Amino acid sequence: MEQKKCRFCHSLLTNTFLDLGVSPLANSFVAPESSYKMEPFYPLHTFVCNSCLLVQLDEFESPQNIFHNYLYFSSYSSSWLLHAKQYVE
């Protein structure tokens, strides 16, 4: 079994921060005609690096698989735009 290494400083990851089991991708939509198919689940086991204190997943999905059909655009949300405007002022 390969030892997990920190994505930032490359130290060995030995301390679990939080293990939430497995979960499907956030904001992924399963169309009704695909509801019979198994939805993929991914581990949410987080570690904290002893050297740089970065909290990170030991396994993660590629951005292409997460955002290939991403339907959220922050510019469409008037409440988010107002929040961002107030934050910078």
Instruction: Return d(Cα 55, Cα 6) in angstroms, integer.
Output: 9
Instruction: Return d(Cα 53, Cα 32) in angstroms, integer.
Output: 42
In this prediction the pTM is: 0.63
Give per-residue pLDDT as tens, 42-65.
999 999 999 999 999 988 778 777
Residue 9, φ and ψ in degrees, nearest 5: -105, -5
CA distances from 29 to 3, 8, 16, 40, 77 (A): 34, 32, 30, 12, 19
pLDDT at 40: 87
